[in-house]
């Protein structure tokens, strides 16, 4: 095995974040040569031998028991999401998955019906690699109006929200606190990689972002793990100005690896009014296009 592997790299990153005082150990001051805890200190806190823990970090041990993982998780002060990620990484070291070409992600008719039902709210459907599988008119206008509305219908050119956030200038400028949004996206990607270590398309996405964005490299190297479940962001929209939305992620029962992202605003707020204006602008542009002879797309293409 070359290098520590995903499990060892995660353990090293989490250990480096801890200070001695975080876990009740004395701080030796400037004589400390490593960031965070030493391996020996972490091993002592977990109740395992230093040599065993070193082998685990180095990728030389594949058989950590549930009890050992529990002890290490407690010593590292892992939260529930990090603990689940640790289990997935440990399971992968025991059973190395075979890379296989995944099937193209498709949108079920029920999901299209769901997207149409929330037509008054900006919404998009993401696949497990953060590809945009579909969006409604308002979701497209709010988050990516500069892109082709029909792009998600073509598997070869589907927009990818992770790629957009790091490599698309429009999307970078959309978020007032871009760094916070970027951290959230990378933390969510870490979970996806832990769940699907055999997915070559996901690996290609990580590789592309690593090659093209130093900011992604820095965030990826931190090994943070966190789902994008709900967060509020200020957007600088080029058409309607400042909009504050809460992006909420809902699971889709028939397609558990896909997620419905809704962007909501407080009732009677300036942001709600801004979205209403954006909806009017979109309707006006659509009417102008139809008047110029454009062919209306079927509703099932939403």
Decide if 19 contacts 27 (C-beta within 8 A): yes
289 versus 78: the higher-pLDDT residue is 78
Region at 47 (left for phi over 0; alpha for psi -120 to 50; beta for the rest): left
Per-residue pLDDT tens over the stretch 119-128 = 889 999 999 9
Neighbours of 10 (CB within 10 A): 24
Average pLDDT over residues 93-111: 77
pLDDT for 27 equals 65
- Domain locations in the chain as residue ranges: 5-94, 109-301
* CA nearest neighbour of 25 among 14, 36, 16, 34: 36
What pLDDT does residue 253 have?
Answer: 84
pLDDT one-digit tens code per residue, 114-162:
999 998 899 999 999 999 999 999 999 999 999 999 999 998 889 999 9
Joined tokens for residue 298: 């079927």
- Mean pLDDT in residue range 270-280: 94
Q: What is the pLDDT of residue 231?
A: 94
pLDDT for residue 127: 94
Decide if pLDDT at 164 tops 80.
Answer: yes
Q: Is the confidence at residue 54, as pLDDT, over 70?
A: yes
pLDDT of residue 153: 92
User: pTM of this prediction?
Assistant: 0.77
Q: What is the rounded average pLDDT for all residues in the chain?
A: 85
CATH number of 109-301: 3.30.450.180
- Superfamily of domain covering 5-94: lambda repressor-like DNA-binding domains (1.10.260.40)
pLDDT confidence of residue 1: 45
Mean pLDDT of 189-194: 91
Q: Is the pLDDT of residue 288 over 90?
A: no
CB atoms within 10 A of CB 76: 24
Q: How confident is the model at residue 2 (pLDDT cuts 50, 70, 90)?
A: low
Diameter of the chain measured on Cα atoms: 75
pLDDT single digits (tens) 209-265? 999 999 999 999 888 888 888 899 999 999 999 999 999 999 888 888 899 999 999
Is 5-94's fold the same as 109-301's? no
Question: What band does 300 get if pLDDT is binned at 50, 70 and 90?
Answer: very low
Residue of higher predicted confidence among 73 and 166: 166
3-state secondary structure the chain: CCCCHHHHHHHHHHHHHCCHHHHCCCCCHHHCCCCCCCHHHHHHHHCCCHHHHHHHHCCCCCCCCHHHHHHHHHHCCCCHHHHHHHHHHHHHHHCCCCCCCCCCCCCCHHHHHHHHHCCCCCEEEECCCCEEEEECHHHHHHHHCCCCCCHHHCHHHCCEHHHHHHHCHHHHHHECCHHHHHHHHHHHHHHHHHHCCCCHHHHHHHHHHHHHCHHHHHHHHCCCCCCCCEEEEEEEECCCEEEEEEEEEEECCCCCCCEEEEEECCCCCHHHHHHHHHHHHHHHHHHHHHHCCCCCCCHHHC
Model pLDDT, residue 294: 46
Give the CA distances from residue 256 to residues 129, 133, 227, in Å, rounded to whole numbers and listed in that order.
13, 14, 14
Evaluate if residue 91 carries a pLDDT over 90: no
């Amino acid at each position: 095995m070359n290098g520590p592997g995903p499990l060892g790299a995660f353990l090293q990153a989490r250990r480096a974040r801890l200070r001695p005082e975080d876990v009740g150990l004395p701080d030796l001051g400037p004589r400390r040569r490593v960031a965070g805890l030493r391996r020996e200190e972490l091993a002592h806190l977990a109740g395992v031998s230093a040599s065993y823990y070193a082998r685990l970090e180095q990728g030389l041990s594949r058989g950590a028991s549930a009890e050992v993982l529990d002890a290490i998780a407690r010593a590292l002060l892992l939260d529930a999401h990090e603990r689940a990620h640790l289990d997935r990484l440990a399971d992968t070291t025991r059973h190395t998955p075979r890379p296989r070409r995944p099937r193209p992600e498709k949108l079920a008719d029920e999901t299209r019906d769901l997207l149409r039902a929330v037509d008054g709210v900006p919404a998009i459907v993401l696949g497990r690699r953060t590809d945009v599988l579909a969006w409604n008119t308002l979701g497209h206008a709010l988050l990516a109006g500069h892109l082709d509305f029909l792009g998600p219908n073509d598997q070869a050119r589907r927009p990818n929200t992770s790629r957009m956030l790091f490599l698309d200038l429009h999307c970078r400028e959309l978020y007032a606190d871009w760094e916070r949004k970027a951290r959230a996206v990378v933390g969510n990607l870490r979970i996806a990689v832990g769940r699907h270590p055999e997915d070559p398309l996901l690996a290609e996405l990580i590789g592309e972002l690593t090659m093209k964005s130093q900011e992604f490299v820095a965030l990826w190297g931190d090994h943070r793990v966190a789902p994008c479940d709900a967060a509020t962001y200020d957007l600088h929209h080029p058409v309607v100005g400042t909009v504050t939305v809460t992006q909420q992620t809902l699971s889709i029962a028939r397609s558990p690896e896909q997620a419905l992202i809704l962007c909501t605003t407080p009732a009677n707020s300036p942001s709600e009014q801004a979205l209403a204006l954006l909806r009017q602008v979109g309707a006006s542009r659509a009417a102008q296009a139809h008047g110029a002879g454009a062919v209306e797309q079927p509703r099932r293409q939403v």
